[in-house]
């Protein structure tokens, strides 16, 4: 009698080659599968809501797995965490769910946050946890430019050449640029994203923020539907998969 | 013709045995003095607003130093940062100040922040940057208990046995406990603090927060003026020297 669990997962992306299991490379998925096997006593497949790239962090990744052996609900997270130690992966919560629940296919919205620190000095406590941009960024210009991206568009410009999605069309529900002192957070929400879409958008918006491009340039490069029109891709270090929404 | 500069400094306390220069131990002060000597070409003394313990972080430490050779103001921070690399110490800003300015003696208020993450799972992205408390903390009880500490008191209970201050009497201007999700920040402001006073207060407040002691216990142990009455000292990892105020 198997029981499916939904997991809420936080990780520091730095030591991993990404979420996805890979031959001979450390991945978050493989680490959780190994911990789950140690808990359940049999091989376990862990299905995430989606992949994250090498170095990308997660504050609220969601995954599901099936355990063959009964285990008290309140012990699932602790048991997995005990086997994950000392890797920087934490199971924040685990709930029993119906067999039909699917972390990837049931997700209705994905929320990413990109953290920029706008200052000249190198990072110290936040090293590896944000992208430092030394040139002053005009966040109002970035916000204005970003409006062009909201809605349903062909995002070919903002899609990695290795992207395996069938279509470059996505609906971006929200994009917000917020400054608090020298910290600028870019938050993006959509049902799904293309490969490196958020980092491509943020890197292009920073070109606007630092005054190298006018705000209207973002609409122009979107309309070009051409990967070569994109600005530099922002580094993985500032990106966080923040939350995934599911139907109630 | 020497010029005094006031420095605003951020550092990750983990690799250092504290602010204070020490024989054969890495310190923030010695690292900045070495960088300053490389910039100025002669030995430089860096005077901080006060010490921080081994592992304690700073977001806004202040120090002063004198340069013998003229240097453009806007290049001071960059020049020091170039020589500090790759240590996690950043000079955020540098201003020329009058010769009479003294980072320690002129400080009128010091602000500390202690970051607690109240959850069972180990920390990942914030590992080394906060104190994880697995037992549920009642922040309202902590706030109620903390009221007893505000004002002028003999803080012998909350003072490390190695404290070198002449008097155990200090005036705590403010102490606030704020919860945001599972993050609890304790902020404390005073003109000056005793050695390990903030960590002693936070460790004791956590005893109240987890229900091992009633809120009134904080007033009782303060009144005892006895170091052995103090709760466990909170670890250095969650403490940040956040800001120092000077007269305009």
CA dist., res. A25 & res. A11, Å (int): 16
Chain B residues within 8 angstroms (CB to CB) of chain A: 10-12, 57, 59, 77-78, 81, 85, 88-92, 119-125, 127, 129
pLDDT band at A8 (very low <50, low <70, confident <90, very high): very high
B71, part of any domain: yes
Q: What's the mean pLDDT in A39-65? A: 97
Q: What is the CATH number of the domain that holds B85?
A: 3.30.70.580
B241, part of any domain: yes
Q: Is residue B73 located within the same domain as residue B169?
A: no
* A128: nearest CA partner in chain B: B125
Query: What ipTM goes with this model?
Result: 0.93
Instruction: Specify the DSSP class assigned to residue B22.
Output: B
Whether the model clears a pTM of 0.90, i.e. scores above it, the answer is: yes
pLDDT of residue A73: 85
Q: Is residue A127 located within the same domain as residue A49?
A: no
**Total domain count, chain A:** 2
B125 three-class SS: coil
pLDDT at residue A70 tops 90 = no
CA distances from B127 to A119, B83, B117, B132 (A): 24, 27, 10, 9
Q: Is residue A117 located within the same domain as residue A217?
A: yes
Per the listing, tokens 């208990």 go with B145
- Smallest CA–CA distance, residue B65 to chain A, in Å, is 19
Instruction: Specify the DSSP class assigned to residue A47.
Output: E
Is A89 in Cβ contact with B59 (below 8 Å)? no
Q: Which of A59, A74, A97 is the last residue of a domain?
A: A97
Rg (CA), chain B: 19
Per the listing, tokens 């204005």 go with A144
What tens digit of pLDDT does each residue of A175-222 get?
A: 999 999 999 999 999 999 999 999 999 999 999 999 999 999 999 999
Q: Is residue A88 located within the same domain as residue A119?
A: no
A103, part of any domain: no
A225, part of any domain: yes
B29 neighbors B21 (Cβ within 8 angstroms): yes
CA dist., res. B13 & res. B240, Å (int): 9
Q: Is residue B113 located within the same domain as residue B224?
A: yes
Q: Is residue A91 located within the same domain as residue A9?
A: yes
Kindly report the average pLDDT of chain B as a whole number.
97
Q: What is the CATH number of the domain that holds A218?
A: 3.30.70.660
Q: Which of B97, B124, B149 is the last residue of a domain?
A: B97
Q: Is residue A230 located within the same domain as residue A139?
A: yes
B102, part of any domain: no
A102, part of any domain: no
Q: Is residue B35 located within the same domain as residue B73?
A: yes
pLDDT of residue B1: 78
pLDDT at residue A248 tops 90 = no
Q: Which residue in A57, A85, A124 is closest to B10 by CB distance?
A: A124
Q: Is residue A88 located within the same domain as residue A8?
A: yes
pLDDT of residue A128: 96
Q: Which of B74, B97, B120 is the last residue of a domain?
A: B97
CA dist., res. A32 & res. B78, Å (int): 43
pLDDT at residue A12 tops 90 = yes
Is B92 in Cβ contact with A10 (below 8 Å)? no
Q: Is residue B87 located within the same domain as residue B129?
A: no
Q: Is residue A224 located within the same domain as residue A118?
A: yes
Q: Is residue B204 located within the same domain as residue B89?
A: no
A133, part of any domain: yes
pLDDT band at A1 (very low <50, low <70, confident <90, very high): confident
CA dist., res. A31 & res. A73, Å (int): 21
> pLDDT below 70 — which residues of chain B?
none
Identify the domain containing residue B155 by its residue range.
109-245
A189, part of any domain: yes
Residue B6's contacts (CB-CB under 8 Å, 6 or more residues apart) are B62, B63, B64, B94, B95, B96, B97, B101, B103
């Amino acid at each position: 009698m198997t029981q499916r669990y939904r997991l809420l997962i936080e990780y520091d992306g730095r030591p991993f080659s990404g979420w996805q299991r890979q031959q001979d490379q450390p991945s978050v998925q493989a680490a959780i599968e190994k911990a789950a096997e140690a808990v359940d006593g049999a091989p376990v497949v862990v299905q995430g809501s989606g992949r994250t790239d090498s170095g990308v962090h997660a504050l609220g990744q969601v995954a599901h797995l099936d355990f063959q052996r009964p285990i008290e609900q309140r012990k699932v997270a602790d048991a997995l965490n005990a086997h994950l130690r000392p890797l920087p992966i934490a199971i924040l919560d685990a709930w029993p769910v119906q067999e039909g629940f699917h972390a990837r296919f049931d997700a209705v919205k994905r929320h990413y946050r990109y953290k920029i620190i706008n200052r000249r000095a190198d990072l110290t406590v936040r090293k590896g946890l944000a992208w430092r941009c030394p040139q002053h960024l005009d966040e109002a210009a970035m916000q204005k430019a970003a409006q062009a991206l909201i809605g349903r568009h062909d995002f070919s410009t903002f899609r990695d050449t290795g992207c395996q999605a069938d279509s470059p069309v996505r609906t971006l529900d929200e994009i917000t640029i917020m400054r608090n002192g020298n910290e600028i957070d870019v938050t993006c929400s959509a049902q799904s994203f293309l490969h490196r879409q958020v980092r491509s958008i943020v890197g292009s918006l920073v070109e606007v923020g630092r005054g190298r491009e006018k705000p209207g340039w973002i609409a122009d490069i979107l309309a070009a539907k051409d990967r070569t029109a994109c600005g530099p891709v922002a580094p993985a270090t500032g990106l966080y998969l923040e939350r995934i929404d599911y139907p109630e």
